[in-house]
Amino acid sequence: MSSLSLSAVFDTFDEVNYLAYDSHMQENTQKLSVVDVLAESLKLAGAEAVFGIPSYVGFGIINALDKSGFTLELNTHEQNAAHMAEGYYYATGKLPILSVAIGPGVTNAVTGIANAFVESVPMIVLVARAADAYIGKNEYHANSGIGRTLDEKQLFQSCTKAQYYLDNPAQSPELIRQAIYTALSGRPGPVVISVPPALQKELVDWPSWLENNGTFALSQSIVSEKDLKSITVLFERSQKPLIILGSEVQHADRRQLERLLGNNCLYITSYGAKGKVPALGNYFGTVWYSNSQDIVELVKESDLVLAIGEHFTHFTVRPITDELRNKNVIQISTYPEEIGRAVTISMGVVGDVSDFISRFSPSKRSWLFSGISNKLNPEDSETLAVLQMLPEIMPDDTVFFGDVGNAGYASITDLVLTSNQEYYTTGKFGVCGYSIPAAIGYSYGNKKRPVASIIGDLSLAMNMQEISNVVKFGTTNTFFVFNNQTPANITEDQLEIAGKEIQSSIGNIDYQLFAQSVGIEYVHVNGSENMREICAGINFSSGSRIVEITIPQTDTPLI
């Protein structure tokens, strides 16, 4: 994440934008169309970029956003647009906007919206809507759920925080404001705003609604002094404390993390915190779906586990679940619903994780773990050997995105980052092809840093069409494609369950021809054999490329 934290977004949105605008406009109320109010409200929230594929009934909205100075980017698929918006948020901290067409545009986008939802990424989803005259008549793209039509609202119910379907012009400004507040406040997430064609040009008072209702606070609760003292006492009394850092720490100040972790006990991360915290000498690696026995032994030997911003989902911490049942676990989370949800804890505290990290200053509690350090063994597979090289080959400020598949999953535990490198992955929703548009979105938001995707051949085939946009966007993306011409995970599952391969061939895509067709560089390497030699001549800080890495079909990294 960039230096702009979520709390900074809140401060900017509330105190600077809304209060300043309110003061300026109190005596200058004017009439604006509903779509102009939407555009101005999003601008006040700090939003700047729109991703997606707009619909013919939504061009009134797009036109208003264009007039207000928004950057509008056309994607090749709505799912990719949502992933790109997520990557853009990671790079900038700014509220991303997704624009989707009615009908298949909605269904295409749901996977990307759902990933943003489970990863707590704020997003405004602008959904076009058929004219009221067509509702209930089985008309083209009339997604009302009436008759043989898609129930759009029900579809969004489980993957968004809220949906705002505007019907009354006078109420629209306040509902738009509520939608933005809902996306950013509490546990952030996607929120739908839908404006029918007939409402888009309706005139409403602006900003009289703002004067009448004032502003709202978007602050997080903080850990009380009493709880902070209790945690400090328990931590200092323990002989072998262990810190587990989860996804919520991505918004913490890195200097505060270095202060805390540099002076205290051993620590590990789950996938959501990988690359977001400094890898100091007492860092023991990332716990994941399957893992080295060393981390299990580390948890077993500890006498106190302090979980900061960690949600303990089974998918991410399964290797240590049994050991946690017998431990004193203190869990700190910004979100009340996560406290004690997945594991039994001895103490749970709700409060802003970033604030807690800045205030938690126990005395040094180092201890010597009897196990060996969690190092990968490149002799286990070619995939692991290549992963070991990537952080050394890439610039020190590279941002990595891991995809679904053997290479992507192995990167969660075995990609040992340098101090300034960062890492993101699709996490518990597990979207194949995620790392392509998300990485492009990050580079679009921050063009000063090189961005690299770690992806298998099947995942690349799912979303490779978005690569055609990197030249237009002017991004710096490298796509490391681990190619063994087979979906390794699927093959392994077939062999385990059926005892044979049923269907595991995806053919051989000509990546060189594809790279040439979209105007980017192509590089081929034979696994780890000539990886360093060939990559030494590449300027990874400029331009985009596909690096095809030939991996044996029998290669199965231990993930």
Q: What is the mean pLDDT of residues 359-384?
A: 69
User: What average pLDDT does range 233-240 have in this prediction?
Assistant: 92
Decide which of 324, 359, 394 is a domain's last residue: 359
* Domain assignment of residue 53, yes or no: yes
Q: Which residue among 213, 243, 276 closes a domain? A: 213
Q: Residue 312: give the domain boundaries.
A: 225-359
Contact status, residue 333 vs residue 339, Cβ threshold 8 Å:
yes
- All residues at 6 or more sequence positions from 118 whose CB lies less than 8 Å from its CB, including other chains: 427, 428, 429
Torsion angle, alpha carbons of 78, 84, 86, 91, to 10: -170
The reply to whether the predicted model has a pTM over 0.95 is no
pLDDT interval class at 28 (50, 70, 90): low
Q: Are residues 442 and 493 in the same domain?
A: yes
Q: E strand or H helix at 444, and its extent?
A: helix 435-445
pLDDT band for position 291 (50/70/90)? Answer: low
Whether residue 524 contacts residue 546, with contact meaning beta carbons closer than 8 Å, is answered with no
Rounded Cα distance between 130 and 58, Å, is 9
Q: 285 and 154: one domain?
A: no
Q: How far is CA 236 from CA 249, 332, 354, in A?
A: 22, 17, 21
The token duo for 141 is 């793209």
Domain membership flag for residue 555:
no
User: Could you tell me which of 87, 186, 1 has the C-alpha nearest to residue 431?
Assistant: 87
Same-domain status, 79 and 202: yes
Is residue 341 situated within a structural domain? yes
Position 220 in a domain: no
Q: Report which DSSP code applies to 16.
A: I
Q: What is the pLDDT of residue 79?
A: 96
Domain holding 33: CATH number?
3.40.50.970
Q: How confident is the model at residue 218 (pLDDT cuts 50, 70, 90)?
A: low
Cα-based angle 276, 280, 284 (whole degrees, multiple of 5): 85
DSSP E strands, 195-298: 203-206, 241-245, 266-269, 283-286
Q: What is the mean pLDDT of the chain?
A: 84
For the cut 80, the answer to whether the pLDDT of residue 494 exceeds it is: no
Please choose, from the candidates 215, 188, 4, 220, the residue with its C-alpha nearest in 3D space to the C-alpha of residue 94. 4
Q: Are residues 189 and 285 in the same domain?
A: no
Are 544 and 448 in a shared domain?
A: yes
Amino acid letter, residue 481: V
Return the CATH number at 288: 3.40.50.1220
Fill in the DSSP letter of residue 110. H
Q: What is the pLDDT, as a whole number, of residue 247?
A: 92
Confidence of residue 235 (pLDDT cuts 50, 70, 90): very high
Shared-domain flag, residues 188 and 243: no
| Confidence label for 19 from pLDDT (cuts 50, 70 and 90) | very low
Q: Which residues pair with 308 in a beta bridge?
A: 245, 332
Other Cβ atoms less than 10 A from the Cβ of 419: the count is: 10
Number of C-alpha atoms within 13 angstroms, CB side, residue 272?
A: 27
Last residue in a domain, options 188, 213, 238: 213
Determine the residue type at 303: D
In a domain, 157, yes or no: yes
Single-letter residue type at 231: I
Write the DSSP symbol of residue 424: E
Q: Residue 170 carries which side chain, given as an amino acid letter?
A: A
Residue 489 has pLDDT above 80, yes or no: no
Give the separation between CA 302 and CA 240, rounded to whole angstroms: 5
Checking if the pLDDT of 251 tops 90, the result is no
Q: Is the peptide bond before 122 cis (omega within 30 degrees of 0)?
A: no
99 vs 20 pLDDT, higher one: 99
Are residues 37 and 86 part of one domain? yes
Instruction: Answer whether residue 371 shows pLDDT above 90.
Output: no
- pLDDT score at 22: 46
Residue 237, number of CB atoms within 10 A of its CB:
11
Side chain identity, residue 522? Y
pLDDT class for 374, splitting at 50, 70, 90? very low
Question: Is the pLDDT assigned to residue 378 strictly greater than 60?
Answer: no
Q: Is residue 557 one of the residues assigned to a domain?
A: no
CA 203 to chain centre: 37
Asked if residue 121 has pLDDT above 70, the reply is yes
Residue 89 reports pLDDT greater than 80: yes
Let me know whether 163 and 286 are in one domain. Answer: no
Say if 559 falls within a structural domain.
no
Residues 323-337 have pLDDT tens digits of 898 899 999 999 999
Specify if 366 maps to a domain: no
Residue 283: both structure tokens together: 């860092």
Q: Name the CA dihedral angle for 488, 489, 490, 495, rounded to a multiple of 10 degrees.
A: 90
* Mean pLDDT, residues 36-58 taken together: 89
CA–CA gap between residue 537 and residue 540 (Å, rounded): 9
Residue 319 tokens, joined: 């290797």
User: Which of 150-154, 246-250, 340-344 is predicted with the least confidence, judged by mean pLDDT?
Assistant: 150-154
- Tell whether 504 and 448 lie within a shared domain: yes
pLDDT band with cut points at 50, 70 and 90 for residue 13:
very low
Lowest-confidence segment of 9-23, 157-171, 236-250, 273-287 by average pLDDT: 9-23
State whether 396 and 299 are in the same domain: no
What DSSP designation does 26 have? Answer: T
Is the Cβ–Cβ distance between 283 and 264 less than 8 Å?
Answer: no
The answer to whether residues 41 and 141 belong to one domain is yes
The number of distinct structural domains making up the chain is 3
Look up residue 95 and give its two tokens: 């509220």
Residues 117 and 237 in one domain: no
- Return the SS3 of 130: coil
